Structure 1
């Protein structure tokens, strides 16, 4: 039997298989509100047969958006728009849907990628003043962020809690806290971006404090039946930055707190990063963390072939695999993986006749 198509428990939630659709920013919201694009985008991914779909990085406050077009969940209008999208999607799919709650920190106030992705100055109508652990810009020449005060930190923690409560109200199945890719929580974790001399800077214990506060606050605010996981960058790929050894300490601290899973990515903190890109290049980080924790570990990063994904699980290197760009390119990847591995995949009844003659029993209604 294929491990990729075996069930996986994330807290109280059982996934039908171990294929996770990773969060992918769409830059298509209006004042943080989901639009018809999100109905189309999430709708077709929810028909893919994967085990879990995680909605893109969703800002917990307006200044936490990467761009002015980012999805948000900080007010009633955001909540109502997302609820409407989910109602449409769930009419035709029973796939569990999670959300990644995020704050971009100093990487906020940018243009959409297809508009160049550059930083937008605070005095521009589409820009705003960013916030970070310290007043250090991402790139030389960028407008510097404001160093967060203790009051700002308290506000950020509360914003995560408020967004998590909104996520619960709209019926989402998983909450993922975004502490990766150079965004605010990662900015506090890394010594490259955190030069504070208070309780949130200096030692590893201090630099982890905000991430652990956010996790604890969100975990306490929502029911125990709602899994709360986290995504981290296991390394900055920069000497002297955040690295695997520190990630192991963070992962073990989260494990003790009842984290439902850890989603292991890397990079995004510094333009000086030097990444050794290759198929599955981040899997060794997931493997090392899996050896150190009890919670499920999700591997991600250039995992594109069914046999590759199956091997990662069979070798005990991770408990699940996540796809992002690969599933945008091939939104029926789980169907094709099931055919390659002799398994079966869920499909809407409207699509069952798409089953190839050579793979009878491949698709089942769900």
Structure 2
């Protein structure tokens, strides 16, 4: 097969090696417009995991790369005069020029034809069976066929410059320096015997305010030397971007995502994207070259396994790589946004700031960090436990640290989410809710929420939903609260909400959001006229002032009843397209009076309801508000709006924001994944300065520990896992080996199960460790 590769960087050269090794008879040609010795980077980073893949793909190349590597385990974070070190991370650095030399020599050994200093011929004139576009982040091929590849290029918010220094860093070092205009950060690591990479980065607005846009190259380098003098220790910064002048060396990182990776040109020759031409991942997780190499491995494997079917092989390559690349890009997005918003994290103590940095991508979790450096995690757990008020030297998992809100003390950080049961008649809870909520109260969580409870019959979602508008309902709830208080250490929270335009629907198993028959339905209210499901739902009518006053009174009356029933905590539901949410979202509020228009106006009625409830709810008891932090629809609320909402409710006396999102419009397009809404919680918490609950695909103790430890939320709400297993919190404690200590309370009648559960998990863990050790021995690790 005749293969032409456009681009002689690491991506193109490594692909050439693998294809030539796969079939020595292949005619592989590489075209690179730069000279063989030209490079504009300094060091390249790989993880230990990546190196194993290189060994398996081409042992000679991997051996040479490994021999040239500088290896380190530590990450050092310098912030506000402190240096915090975590070990066990397993990184390797190699000079970019040395890497290119190794790859070029290997290509020559295998008989790859290298054409340096040569502009690539037009792809439509090439005599080739396969063309690989590995021409980098500014790919000309991708641009030429952009209508087919459909690239989405997002220029990120920070400016950065890629420099070098003779200061030899023994750890991967992050250094943060405050200026009058904002924060700058350096990413530094050693890659050979004489030099380290030194990347300086700052948000574009900070960079401009500092005047760097007006400086020439030498001035800006000198400015950076002075700013980072402490960590450079007298060493100079140097640039090898000789072709760039002035501020052009400071660039914004382009995040590239392509809808398609394979295209046949006018001659029918397949042109496949590889490396940065197909995708990019921010340098803060060091995955650009890794992804390019893995692209080459996947492409060679696909061609090997289906040698007679080129189209099928290319489709397989694209399908396989798309999944892995998307996973890395999601992690890179989290990391990128962390560095773009360093100011947001600076309200954290240095210890928590460093932990947040280490876990920023969500690829490294609390337990993963423990595997890397158990001493660091134990020290941090002790520090966090003491910060939470515990007088102990014990290393307490973050999820089991206490939290005090007003006069209420929660034994740990786990919350049982509100979960609709559709088990009421006329809004009255009975045996089902006693068993359901009572069991979860005994399951170890600190706070157990009721499902959304209506302040009036018309406020229900379905006929099976609970209410709190009568003495009988108050007594029924009091029975459940009393049981939880007598038989567990859990506190009980009532979530009050009015369904509004999403009311009068059938119970879930009869059709979610499907309207009731007309004879069973009730009139629907909303901020403005709407149908939640166009052409399906009943129409909701815009509320009059009199109706708004009645709803406010209903909420106040229900609040009084909640206190009478003994609830410890009260939450107002202002999310998910229900009545109060319909006022907040611009998608559902088209009012022209004082309750429509600006966000301030749209918040007016929800704030009036909240303030009236806060006035009659005891000052010693906490109140929270659930919001949809993002509608996931163009023109809807954004996370910036969520921060403003949180500040407004905080000023009105709210103690905590329950940060959810969406469910306002069926046109929503959320980005799902594990802990997918946690970044919304983190932003609200750290920008609005208010406690938060994180929700959404939190399903393991490891998730909860990571979120709490990093300061991304103060509580974590667990729904489906706690629905499937009432004692989820106790189970997870046993799973992570936390057998006794603060925040862990087993009900006495269940104590006999505790030791057995802990023994079972300990046995499973030991078996897993033994299996991993056998695997490592087989791989030669």
Normalised by the size of structure 1, how large is the TM-score?
0.95
1:140 maps onto 2:534 in alignment:
yes
Name the CA distance, whole Å, in 1 between partners of 2:703 and 2:617.
Answer: 36
Name the CA distance, whole Å, in 2 between partners of 1:202 and 1:269.
Answer: 18
- Matched residue of 1:91: which SS? helix
Q: Which residue of 2 aligns with 1:347?
A: 746
Q: Which residue of 1 aligns with 2:489?
A: 94
In the TM superposition, what is the alpha-carbon distance from 1:243 to its structure 2 partner? 1.5
Q: Which residue of 1 aligns with 2:661?
A: 266
Name the CA distance, whole Å, in 1 between partners of 2:756 and 2:599.
Answer: 57
For structure 2, list consecutive stretches of 5 or more residues without a partner in the other structure.
1-395, 762-781
Matches within 5 A, 1:86-165: 86-120=481-515, 123-124=518-519, 126-141=520-535, 142-165=537-560
1:44 maps onto 2:443 in alignment:
no
Name the CA distance, whole Å, in 2 between partners of 1:114 and 1:297.
Answer: 32
**8 Å contact from structure 1 (residues 68, 127) kept in 2:** no
Return closer, same or farther for 1:138/1:355 CA change in 2, 3 Å cut-off.
same
- Stretch of structure 1 that moved more, 81-90 or 206-215: 81-90
**8 Å contact from structure 1 (residues 2, 342) kept in 2:** no
**8 Å contact from structure 2 (residues 530, 539) kept in 1:** yes
In the TM superposition, what is the alpha-carbon distance from 1:329 to its structure 2 partner? 1.5
**8 Å contact from structure 1 (residues 238, 274) kept in 2:** yes
Q: Which has the higher helix share?
A: 2
- Stretch of structure 1 that moved more, 189-198 or 87-96: 87-96
- Matched residue of 2:515: which SS? coil
Name the CA distance, whole Å, in 2 between partners of 1:259 and 1:118.
Answer: 30
| Residues 21-67 of structure 1 deviation map (CA, whole Å, 9 limit, x = unaligned) | 11111111111111111111111111111010011100011111000
| Residues 262-290 of structure 1 deviation map (CA, whole Å, 9 limit, x = unaligned) | 11011110111111110000000000001
For structure 1, list consecutive stretches of 5 or more residues without a partner in the other structure.
none
Residue 632 of structure 2, aligned match among 237, 258, 264: 237
In the TM superposition, what is the alpha-carbon distance from 1:336 to its structure 2 partner? 2.4
Return closer, same or farther for 1:75/1:297 CA change in 2, 3 Å cut-off.
same
Q: Which residue of 2 aligns with 1:32?
A: 427
| Residues 182-231 of structure 1 deviation map (CA, whole Å, 9 limit, x = unaligned) | 11111100011111001111111110111111111111111101211111
Using CA pairs under 8 Å that are at least 6 residues apart, name the structure with larger relative contact order, 1 or 2: 1
Return closer, same or farther for 1:84/1:359 CA change in 2, 3 Å cut-off.
closer
In the TM superposition, what is the alpha-carbon distance from 1:311 to its structure 2 partner? 0.9
Q: Which residue of 1 aligns with 2:755?
A: 356
- Stretch of structure 1 that moved more, 325-334 or 161-170: 325-334
In the TM superposition, what is the alpha-carbon distance from 1:341 to its structure 2 partner? 3.8
1:246 maps onto 2:641 in alignment:
yes
Name the CA distance, whole Å, in 2 between partners of 1:80 and 1:168.
Answer: 11
- Matched residue of 1:232: which SS? strand
**8 Å contact from structure 2 (residues 443, 730) kept in 1:** yes
Name the CA distance, whole Å, in 2 between partners of 1:47 and 1:121.
Answer: 36
Name the CA distance, whole Å, in 1 between partners of 2:477 and 2:702.
Answer: 35
Q: Which residue of 2 aligns with 1:338?
A: 733
In the TM superposition, what is the alpha-carbon distance from 1:94 to its structure 2 partner? 3.5
- Matched residue of 1:33: which SS? coil
Matches within 5 A, 1:137-286: 137-141=531-535, 142-286=537-681
Q: Which residue of 2 aligns with 1:55?
A: 450
Name the CA distance, whole Å, in 2 between partners of 1:359 and 1:31.
Answer: 43
Q: Which residue of 1 aligns with 2:213?
A: none
Name the CA distance, whole Å, in 2 between partners of 1:100 and 1:37.
Answer: 18
Residue 467 of structure 2, aligned match among 47, 56, 72: 72
**8 Å contact from structure 2 (residues 415, 449) kept in 1:** yes
Normalised by the size of structure 2, how large is the TM-score?
0.45
- Stretch of structure 1 that moved more, 310-319 or 274-283: 310-319
List, as ranges, runs of 4+ consecutive aligned residues in structure 1 with deviation greater than 6 Å.
none
**8 Å contact from structure 1 (residues 36, 85) kept in 2:** no
In the TM superposition, what is the alpha-carbon distance from 1:9 to its structure 2 partner? 1.5
In the TM superposition, what is the alpha-carbon distance from 1:121 to its structure 2 partner? 5.1
**8 Å contact from structure 2 (residues 506, 516) kept in 1:** no
**8 Å contact from structure 1 (residues 208, 250) kept in 2:** yes
**8 Å contact from structure 1 (residues 231, 263) kept in 2:** yes
Name the CA distance, whole Å, in 1 between partners of 2:571 and 2:414.
Answer: 16
Name the CA distance, whole Å, in 1 between partners of 2:633 and 2:757.
Answer: 49
- Matched residue of 1:56: which SS? coil
| Residues 306-363 of structure 1 deviation map (CA, whole Å, 9 limit, x = unaligned) | 1121111111111111101111112222112222444342111000010135848x9x
In the TM superposition, what is the alpha-carbon distance from 1:162 to its structure 2 partner? 0.7
**8 Å contact from structure 1 (residues 122, 129) kept in 2:** no
Matches within 5 A, 1:299-310: 299-310=694-705
Name the CA distance, whole Å, in 2 between partners of 1:263 and 1:342.
Answer: 29
Name the CA distance, whole Å, in 2 between partners of 1:278 and 1:117.
Answer: 23
Name the CA distance, whole Å, in 2 between partners of 1:256 and 1:110.
Answer: 35
- Matched residue of 1:263: which SS? strand
Name the CA distance, whole Å, in 2 between partners of 1:32 and 1:204.
Answer: 33
- Matched residue of 1:281: which SS? coil
**8 Å contact from structure 2 (residues 611, 653) kept in 1:** no
Name the CA distance, whole Å, in 2 between partners of 1:179 and 1:358.
Answer: 40
Name the CA distance, whole Å, in 2 between partners of 1:64 and 1:358.
Answer: 43
Name the CA distance, whole Å, in 2 between partners of 1:318 and 1:67.
Answer: 32
